Amino acid sequence: MDHILEGELVNKNVLTGDVTFEVNKIKQLEVKTTLDSEQLRSIYQYLQKGREEEYQIITIDDQIPIRLSKEETNQLSRDIQAILQ
């Protein structure tokens, strides 16, 4: 059975029996990518290192760059924490 989490910036499915996460949406952008917990931790660490910056840019699977404001960076960090718990 899959579990769905709708965070402030991220919608994702937890694929049970597996340690992968299907990310469906970041901000208003529809995406379809699968990340493992190590990849999510890396994104989280990147966000934490730059959390005082005015904005940060991330890419998922080398797709379109996504610009995050300081508030969005904090929201995405909270979403990732919820996913990893």
* DSSP annotation string for 29-64: EEEEEEEEHHHHHHHHHHHHHTTTSSEEEE-STT-S
The more confidently predicted of residues 32 and 40 is 40
Domain definitions of the chain by residue range:
2-84
- The model's confidence at residue 4, banded by pLDDT at 50, 70 and 90, is low
Q: Please say if the pLDDT value at position 56 is more than 90.
A: yes
Lowest mean pLDDT among 22-36, 47-61, 62-76: 22-36
Maximum pairwise Cα distance, the chain: 39
